[in-house]
Every structure is written in C-alpha cells, then in structure tokens.
Structure 1
Amino acid sequence: MRSLLSKVAVGLVFVFGGGLWAASAVADDVAHKVVIQVSTDDERTQKIALNNAVNIQKSLGVDEVKIEIVAYGPGLGLMTTAGKQSQRVADLVLQDITFSACNNTIKKITKKKGAAPKLVEGVGIVDSGAVRIIELQQQGYAYIRP
C-alpha cells in the first residue's frame, strides 16, 4: 500500500510539476530579460543606454533576450520626436526593443508646457517609470542604469 501511495504521489508531482514548468516556460520564452533605466537628459548617457541594448541583443541573440528601456524624468526626452536619438529609437523599436515612457513625467511636461511631448512611434506609455522598473525586476529582469 505504501509503495502504491508513493507511486501515486510521484506521478502527481510529475504531472502537475510538469504542467507548472510548461506554463513557466511559456511565460519566460527567452533566456534573458533586461530593463535599462534612462532618467537623465545627458546625451552621452542616453547613447550608452541605446548602445547597451544593441550590444546585449547582438551578444545574446535577438531571440534569446527581451529588452525594455524605461525613461522617466529628464530621460523622457530620449523617446520624443524632438530628441536627438529619435531616429535611432524608431529603428530599435523595429528590432524588438521595447521602449516605455513614464506617464507621470508626460503629465508634468504637459502641465508645464501646455502640450504633451510627441513620442516616437512605437514607444509605449506606463503609469510610472519607477514602478515599471520595480515590476520588471520582480519578473526576473536584470537591471542596468548607464
């Protein structure tokens, strides 16, 4: 009887554990996940952030890494059409790099200037840039701040 119970227990662990593993594998379909913070208007630092993303993608492979660049505060300019790196951001959107702009920052700019900044096509908006970084880190993303 004890042997039968042991076999049933092992079988249940295999069946349900395998199912959990499969669900986990679907949720994490890439080997690496990286979030890059941009919170400065320093052009050199912004270029480094973009270079980091490109170099990581080249090194690990496009299909092996998910990269999200999150901008807030003075760093939001990176993701606007008026930014010096706007064309590069647009190109990187097409290379499966995700860009997320902080809505708190957008609201402050809108209130101060009377108009919302125009974002590069393909840039997404998140409620809070800082909170987005926290959420991504909790999901296992490696954190980089150039």
Structure 2
Amino acid sequence: MRRFLRHLVAAVGLLLAFTANGFADEPKQHHLVIQVDTNDRHTMDFALTNATDVIEHYRGVNQAVVVEIMACGPGLHMLREDTSPVKERIKHLSKIPPPSKIQFSACNNTKESMEKKEGRPLELLAGTTVVPLGIVRLMELQEQGWSYVRP
C-alpha cells in the first residue's frame, strides 16, 4: 500500500509539473491584434510589415504567434476585393506556415454601412472573417490578454 501511494504521489507530481510548465515541445504562443481604421496605403503596409516582423521574430526564437488584423471604418478597404491596395501582400501572408498564423477580420457594421452607401454587396478578400462589430472584437481580444497595436 505504501509503495502504491509513493507511485501515486510521484505521478501526481509529474502531472502537476507538466501542467504548470507546459510540454517541452510546445512553443509558447503570443497574441497580437492590429487595428487598421484608415484608408491609407502607408498605414496598411505598415500594419502588414509589423505583422510580418512579429511573426519572423517569434519564429526565430521557436515561439508561435497569432496575429489578427482588424479592419474597420475606412480601413475596411484593406480587405475589399475591389479596392484593396495590399491584396497581393495579404494573399502572400495568408500562406504563413504553422505554428504561427495571421488572420484578417472585418467589421460587419462598417461593411453594411458601405453596402448601403454604395447600393451593392461588397466582396471581401478570401479568408476574411466578418465580425459583428470591430470595436467589440478588439475589446474582447484585449480582455483575453491579446496585445493591441494601432499603426
């Protein structure tokens, strides 16, 4: 019985050690959200460069990062198929290999407003996720511990 208890205590200790420190081959994962809210090519390029630099940095230290670019207001042009001045860069960045990844989100409130003003549905770049309200998405990600940048 004592031997069983010793083995049980040892097993629980190992379990706690793995749970507290993570598994040795799992890279740490970071989270960054970048807001683009202006229809300015320089700002869009700067946001994409920031995202690329962050991903490359963490790849170099064997850690993962998830970067989300949230487009709202006039910044939604970044993710529009018909008006994006950076769509080729976005297509290229969308192919980043795991464990890091980049995702693109569009504010539905802005999208609906633009559609009403233009009198037609908007087509967003492939892979874009539409969220109900961009500002709420930013707030919720920050509440989950994501870092926030607005270039």
TM-fit CA distance, 1:86? 1.0
Give the number of the structure whose residues are more often helix, by fraction: 1
**Paired residue total:** 132
Q: Is 2:32 the counterpart of 1:34?
A: yes
TM-fit CA distance, 1:94? 2.1
Q: Distance in 1 between matches of 2:144 and 2:126?
A: 26
Report if the CA contact (8 A) 1:100-1:123 is conserved. yes
Q: Distance in 1 between matches of 2:79 and 2:142?
A: 22
Choose from 39, 53, 60 the match for 2:51.
53
Unaligned runs of 5+ in 2: 1-8
Q: Once the two structures are superposed, what CA deviation does each residue of 1:102-128 show, in whole Å capped at 9, x if it has no partner?
A: 000010011111112211111111001
Q: Distance in 2 between matches of 1:133 and 1:94?
A: 24
Q: Distance in 2 between matches of 1:111 and 1:59?
A: 41
Q: Once the two structures are superposed, what CA deviation does each residue of 1:19-54 show, in whole Å capped at 9, x if it has no partner?
A: xx57xx69xx74211000000111111110000000
Q: Is 2:80 the counterpart of 1:75?
A: no
Instruction: Supply the RMSD in Å over aligned alpha carbons.
Output: 2.8
Q: TM-score, normalised by structure 1?
A: 0.79
Q: TM-score, normalised by structure 2?
A: 0.76
TM-fit CA distance, 1:78? 0.4
Q: Distance in 2 between matches of 1:110 and 1:52?
A: 30
Q: Distance in 1 between matches of 2:142 and 2:68?
A: 11
- Ranges of 4+ aligned residues in structure 1 off by more than 6 Å: none
Alignment of 1:1-146 (within 5 A): 18=16, 21=19, 30-61=28-59, 64-81=64-81, 82-95=83-96, 96-146=101-151
Q: Distance in 2 between matches of 1:41 and 1:128?
A: 18
> CA 1:125 to 1:30, structure 2 compared with 1: closer, same or farther past 3 Å?
farther
